[in-house]
Chains A and B, each alone.
Chain A
Amino acid sequence: MLDLSSRTAKIVFGSAAILIALFLFFPIYWLAISAFKPNAELYRITPTLYPHDPVLTHFATAFGRGNLMQQLRNSLVVSCSAAALNTLLAIYAGYSFAKFRYSGRRLVMVFLLSAQVFPFGLLLISLYPIVTSLGLIDSRAGLTLSYIVFALPVSTYMFYSYFTQVPSEMIEAARADGAGELRIFHTIVLPVSIPAVVTVFLYGFMWSWNDLLYAMTLIVSEDKRTIGPGMLLAYLNEVNSDWGGAMAASIMASAPIVVAFAFLQRWFIQGVTAGSVK
Chain B
Amino acid sequence: MTMTSVEGSAAPMRVSAHARKGGLKAHERRVGRLFLLPALAAFTLVILFPFLRALAVAFTRSDLQTPEPIFVGLANFRAILATPEIIGAFVTTAVYVGLATAGTVVLGLGWALILNQSFRGRAVLRAVTLIPWVLPSTVTAFVWGWIFNSRFGVLNAALVGVGAIPYPTAWLSTTGGAMTAVVITKIWFSIPLFMSFFLAGLQSLDREQIDAARVDGAGNFALLRDHILPHLRPVLLVVIVLGVIGNLQHFDTIFALTGGGPVRATSVLSIEVYRRAFDQWDLGMASALGLLWVATIMPAAYFYLRHLLKGA
Nearest chain-B residue to A16 (Cβ)? B110
Q: Which of A112, A114, A180 contacts B39 (CB 8 A)?
A: A112
Central interface residue in B35, B219, B235, B297, by most chain A CB within 10 Å: B35
Nearest chain-A residue to B298 (Cβ)? A117
Q: Which of B48, B135, B205, B273 contacts A121 (CB 8 A)?
A: B273
* Interface stretch (choices A51-59, A99-107, A193-201): A99-107
A254 in contact with B136 (CB, 8 Å): yes
Instruction: Kindly identify, within residues 71 to 123 of chain A, every residue whose CB is under 8 Å from any CB belonging to chain B.
Output: 88-90, 92-93, 95-97, 99-103, 105-106, 108-123
B202 interface residue (CB < 8 Å to A): yes
What separation, in Å, do the CA atoms of A148 and B223 have in the docked complex? 44
A119 with B270: in contact, given A2-B113, A180-B14 (CB under 8 Å)?
Answer: yes
Chain A: interface residue count, which band? 35 or more
Instruction: Kindly identify, within residues 186 to 201 of chain B, every residue whose CB is under 8 Å from any CB belonging to chain A.
Output: 188, 191-193, 196-197, 200-201
A1 in contact with B205 (CB, 8 Å): yes
| Interface SS of B by simple majority | helix
Q: Which of A17, A95, A102, A227 contacts B28 (CB 8 A)?
A: A102
B116 interface residue (CB < 8 Å to A): yes
The tally of residues in B whose CB lies under 8 Å from a CB in A reads 114
B260 interface residue (CB < 8 Å to A): no
Q: How far is the CB of A102 from chain B (nearest CB, A)?
A: 4
B40 in contact with A278 (CB, 8 Å): no
What separation, in Å, do the CA atoms of A240 and B308 have in the docked complex? 48
Nearest chain-A residue to B14 (Cβ)? A178
A119 with B130: in contact, given A16-B114, A102-B32 (CB under 8 Å)?
Answer: no
B144 in contact with A213 (CB, 8 Å): no
Q: Which of A122, A124, A178, A185 contacts B11 (CB 8 A)?
A: A178
Chain A residues whose C-beta falls within 8 Å of the C-beta of B66 in the assembled complex: none
A60 interface residue (CB < 8 Å to B): no
What separation, in Å, do the CA atoms of A146 and B293 have in the docked complex? 21
* Interface stretch (choices B49-57, B78-86, B174-182): B49-57
B137 in contact with A117 (CB, 8 Å): no
A145 interface residue (CB < 8 Å to B): yes
A42 interface residue (CB < 8 Å to B): yes
B159 interface residue (CB < 8 Å to A): no
B43 in contact with A115 (CB, 8 Å): yes
Q: How many A-B residue pairs have CB under 8 A?
A: 328
Q: Which of B32, B128, B220 contacts A105 (CB 8 A)?
A: B32
Chain A residues whose C-beta falls within 8 Å of the C-beta of B144 in the assembled complex: 27
What separation, in Å, do the CA atoms of A109 and B309 have in the docked complex? 8
B147 interface residue (CB < 8 Å to A): yes
Nearest chain-A residue to B249 (Cβ)? A119
Central interface residue in A27, A28, A127, by most chain B CB within 10 Å: A27
Chain B residues whose C-beta falls within 8 Å of the C-beta of A137 in the assembled complex: none
Instruction: Kindly identify, within residues 265 to 312 of chain B, every residue whose CB is under 8 Å from any CB belonging to chain A.
Output: 269-270, 273-274, 277-278, 283, 286-287, 290-291, 293-294, 297-298, 300-301, 304-305, 307-310, 312
Cβ contacts B102-117/A at 8 Å (1 or 0 each)? 0000010011011011
Q: Which of A30, A102, A250 contacts B33 (CB 8 A)?
A: A102
A68 interface residue (CB < 8 Å to B): no
B39 in contact with A177 (CB, 8 Å): no
Cβ contacts B22-51/A at 8 Å (1 or 0 each)? 000000110111011011101101111111
What separation, in Å, do the CA atoms of A236 and B142 have in the docked complex? 8
B143 interface residue (CB < 8 Å to A): yes
A236 with B117: in contact, given A106-B309, A181-B31 (CB under 8 Å)?
Answer: no
Chain A residues whose C-beta falls within 8 Å of the C-beta of B228 in the assembled complex: 1
Q: Which of B128, B193, B290 contacts A272 (CB 8 A)?
A: B193
A232 interface residue (CB < 8 Å to B): yes
Q: Which of A211, A228, A265 contacts B130 (CB 8 A)?
A: A265
Chain B residues whose C-beta falls within 8 Å of the C-beta of A172 in the assembled complex: 1, 3
Chain B residues whose C-beta falls within 8 Å of the C-beta of A211 in the assembled complex: 137, 252
What are some 19 contacts across the A-B interface (CB < 8 A)? A20-B114, A23-B107, A24-B132, A90-B39, A112-B39, A113-B305, A115-B43, A121-B274, A126-B49, A180-B14, A185-B35, A212-B137, A235-B142, A243-B146, A246-B142, A250-B139, A261-B127, A269-B130, A273-B197
